[in-house]
Amino acid sequence: MEAAQLNLEASNYYKQALIKKPEYIEAREALTRTGGQVLNDKLSTFFQESQLGNKKEAINAFLAAKQYKNSLEIVSVNLTIPSHYNEDFVEIKKTYLIETYEKGLQYLDQEDYDNAEAMFKEIVRLEPDYKDTKKLKDIAYTEPYYRKGVQFLEENKYRSAYNAFLEVISTNPDYKDSKELQELALQLGLVSVGLIPFENATQYQNAQKKAEAYNLDALSQTKDPFLKVIDRTNYEQLLNEQKINLSGAVNESTASEAGKLLGVKWLLGGTLLDMTKKTGELSRQKKEGFKSFKVKKTNEAGEEYYETQYKRTVYFEYNQRNSVMVSVQIKLISLTTGEIEVSKIFSNEISDQVQYYSYDGDASVLFPSKDGKVVTSNNEKRQMDQYLSSRQKIKSVEALTNDAFVDLAKQVQSEVEKFSYYYVK
């Protein structure tokens, strides 16, 4: 590489040689020689760009030269940048920063925030603590989001406003009145939902209370800042007084009055339509297998050896399946218009099954049989071993019921969140 005047490539090879063998004198001399040439080439680029008045390109060329010089120090090859290059760089950088800063201010005055941010980012790259550049960079970034937030508020797009102010606050928590305006957007767009007792159309007494509890838990964990769910135990009497139910549309004025009294804009209720629990019986089936054993034998040369033989035996296969099916209907009613906004039925069936083998003897020597003959293939033996070590405890129908309600609650949560995102833009 060096003979072909490919000094950068040559210096990389010499550097790798020194990393592997630090005492390699010839490699160190060669790296000093080729590395010095590479550094001179980079400094020449700096000089040419500076003579042409290309300050940014000159600065980048000098920084590249300095970075290359530093990269050789890890193998203790210390090259020197002549002092006049350092002096020229300092002067060019000073002028460049002044010009870039002035451009950034001009862009800010013109409300050209994208270009202003680009200018201040460039300054921070070269000198992070230059004047008030960090503050101006943040302004150039946050001001457009702040203005969008204000505009969205005026257009009643509360979620969009909230997110715009969130972007501002994440950059500068104290930027103008962003926190106050974000809170205002949240208040104006809040989807406040009152969770009321569910009805029960099943044979299981108080089963609807599980549906209520799991739905409240799921909705309380929503990541949507605009969705707020409140559990009110005294809703039922007040709703009866206002003649409100979830069976259909209600009078708008009545609903509005109830909304003011309850302090919510929507009511969420439902009916547990169906619930079926099936506890399966544990079946037991006798199966034929073979167990292996060793028999000592002597060959014609009088040498002893062991032969594997198989003997019939029995083991047992067990099967059991438990299942639960739950169906629930939910309704979301507006206490502003009296209309039912969402009405949907969710169903979920969940089951658990165990299938395993049981053997009284040493399971490691147990083999399956087929057509009265032992099966010794690895796949068949592996499958038998899996059944011998399979889980034997099945989930109870009560545990499955809880799982079914959890899954249904997640579906209800998703549906209510979908409504929230549709309602609050």
Task: Kindly list the averaged pLDDT for each block of 10 residues, start to end, along the chain of length 425.
Answer: 95 96 96 96 96 96 96 95 96 96 96 96 95 94 96 97 96 95 96 88 93 92 93 58 50 57 80 96 97 93 92 97 96 84 94 97 95 95 96 96 96 96 94
Place of tokens 């409100």: 244
The pLDDT of residue 253 is 53
The pLDDT of residue 116 is 96
- Do the strands 340-358 and 283-298 form a parallel or antiparallel pair, or are they unpaired? unpaired
3-class secondary structure, 5: coil
What is the CB-side half-sphere exposure of residue 148 using CA atoms within 13 A?
A: 15
Place of tokens 């399979």: 390
Break the chain down into helix, strand, coil percent, rounded to 5.
55, 25, 25
Q: Any alpha helices (H) in 279-394, and if so which ranges?
A: 378-388
C-beta separation of 218 from 409 below 8 A: yes
The pLDDT of residue 234 is 55
Task: List 221's β-bridge partners, or say none.
Answer: none
C-beta separation of 55 from 92 below 8 A: yes
The pLDDT of residue 248 is 47
Rounded Cα distance, 73 and 251, in Å? 82
Contacts of residues 289-296 at CB distance under 8 Å and 24 or more positions apart, as own/partner, are: 289/313, 289/314, 289/315, 289/359, 289/366, 289/367, 289/368, 289/369, 289/384, 290/366, 290/367, 290/368, 290/369, 290/374, 291/361, 291/362, 291/365, 291/366, 291/367, 292/365, 292/367, 293/365
The pLDDT of residue 333 is 86
Helix 178-189 × helix 158-171 angle, to 10°:
150
C-beta separation of 182 from 189 below 8 A: no
The pLDDT of residue 195 is 85
Rounded Cα distance, 401 and 53, in Å? 77
Give 225-254 as a DSSP string: TTEEEEE-TTHHHHHHHTT--SSS---HHH
The pLDDT of residue 237 is 54
Which among 59, 75, 57, 63 has a CA at the least distance from the CA of 20? 75
